[in-house]
Amino acid sequence: MTDSSGIRIKVCGLTRPEDVTAIAEAGADYAGFVFYEPSPRNIGLDVAAELTRLVPDGIEKVALTVNAPDALFEGLLDVARVDLIQCHGNEGPQRLEELRDMFGLPVMKAITIATEADLEALPGYLESADQLLIDAKGSAADALPGGNGESFDWSLLEGVEWDLPWMLAGGLTPDNVGEAIRVTGAGQVDVSSGVESARGIKDAGLIRAFCDAARAAG
Ligand SMILES: O=C(O)c1ccccc1NCC(=O)[C@H](O)[C@H](O)COP(=O)(O)O
């Protein structure tokens, strides 16, 4: 549901019906659902079937996976409609093409950044991914592949021009998303931890504040 500002917003890690309501009322463009068991936001197929049916038309449903086997996608797509696959592990370009060919869905590849050197992995995906998600690499020893609430040096993205849509992620909040957009020029942003009252529990007020702040900066 892109509004006049043009900024498109993804809220990731929805686990309850009220989360879907909150992002729809806030005007988000993507609803992210986590299918990665170590995550506190992980949902099963029964919850996925329920929640994806609640997502209004116009909001893209994103299946977030980490090095997932074909069987996960087969089981998910048997019970739920999904619009975009997000690969947040070390899936290579060939895996992305396999998934697109098998399931007929666009694929967004997450690239996690700690230093400028981490951007060197990006060119290899420009031909195989449909979108990129530029995220922070978790710093803790037990960090998840994403959803850590950590940011990276946004100046690393100043002036970047890639030939496919990309999304900024990593430690974004209602308070910093405007600056992040201004520094990076991002046209899309993604958030999980920054709109939670506790890890894995989304907060409707923070979701609204994040979407309003992102659009105000767009
Ligand atoms: O959100 C998770 O729990 C998660 C677990 C494993 C891999 C990826 C995960 N999230 C991916 C996302 O798209 C997050 O929205 C993104 O990493 C930003 O998260 P945050 O820094 O918490 O806003």
How does pLDDT run across 30-80, given as a tens digit for each residue?
Answer: 999 999 999 999 999 999 999 999 999 999 999 999 999 999 999 999 999
**Alpha helices by DSSP H, the chain:** 17-26, 45-54, 70-79, 93-103, 177-184, 204-217
What is the average pLDDT value for the chain, to the nearest integer?
A: 96
State mean pLDDT over 183-189: 97
pLDDT tens-place string over residues 130-178: 999 999 999 999 999 999 999 999 999 998 889 999 999 999 999 999 9
138 lines ligand 1 (CB under 6 A): no
Q: How far is CA 158 from the centre of its chain?
A: 20
Give the Å distance between the CA of 146 and the centre of ligand 1. Answer: 4
pLDDT at 5: 60
27 lines ligand 1 (CB under 6 A): no
Given the CA of residue 200, which atom of ligand 1 is nearest to it? Answer: 3
pLDDT at 133: 98
Nearest CA owner, ligand 1 atom 8: 146
Q: Which residues of 119-154 are buried (b: 16+ CB within 10 A; e: fewer)?
A: eeebeebeebbbbbbbbbbbeeeeebbbbbbbbbeb
131 lines ligand 1 (CB under 6 A): no
Please determine, for the modelled complex, whether the ipTM score is greater than 0.90: yes
Q: Domain 8-217: which CATH class?
A: alpha beta
Give the Å distance between the CA of 137 and the centre of ligand 1. Answer: 10
pLDDT at 159: 85
* Active-site residue flag, 12: yes
Domain ranges across the chain:
8-217
